Amino acid sequence: MKGLLLTLVLSLVYADQAPVDLSQLSGEWRTLYVVASNPEKTSENGPFWLFKRAINFDTANDNAVFKFYVTENGQCVPKTATGTQIHGNVFAIEYEVADLFKPIYASETSMVAYNVNLDENNKVTKVLEFLGRGPQVNEEDFEKFKELTQEMNIPEENIVNVINSDNCPQN
C-alpha cells in the first residue's frame, strides 16, 4: 500500500506544468467539467461527482481546505475536506481512501487541477477538474483543459459537463 501511495505522489510531482502560485488561487471556485481515467468515478453516483465551491490554500500551515457539495438521495450535502501539503503544490486529502490534488494550470478565471485517487480496492484513477470563478467557461482555458486531458492519456470522451447538473447552493 505504501509503495502504491508513493507511486501516486511521484506521478503528481512529475506531472508538472508551469508552477502555479497558490496565493492567487484561494477563494471561490466552481466545478465546471471533470474527466477521469475511470469514468465510473465521475458518473452521477461516483465519488468525484461533486460540486466544488471554495479552496483555501494556507501554505504557511501546509494545508488547504476544500468546500464542496455532493448529492445524497437527491439532496445537496455540504462537505469539507482538508489536504496536507506534502511536496510543492501537492496536497494529500483523505477522501475516498487516498487522494492527491495539485493545481497544474491557472488563469484569472479558471483552474485545472490534477487528482490521483487510490480507492479501497487499490485502483488508481487519474482525474482532471476544470474549475471556474463563476459558471462561465473561458474557451481558451477549456481548450487548455482538453490539451491536458490528452497529455494525461485520459480519453476526451470521458469529459463530463458538470455545469448543467449543479443545482446546489452557490456558497
User: Which residue ranges form the domains of the chain, and what is each CATH number?
Assistant: 2-165 (2.40.128.20)
CA dist 170 and 155 (Å) reads 30
Q: Which residue has the cell 482525474?
A: 127
Q: Is the pTM of this model over 0.95?
A: no
52-105 pLDDT tens trace: 999 999 989 999 999 999 988 889 999 999 999 998 899 998 766 678 999 999
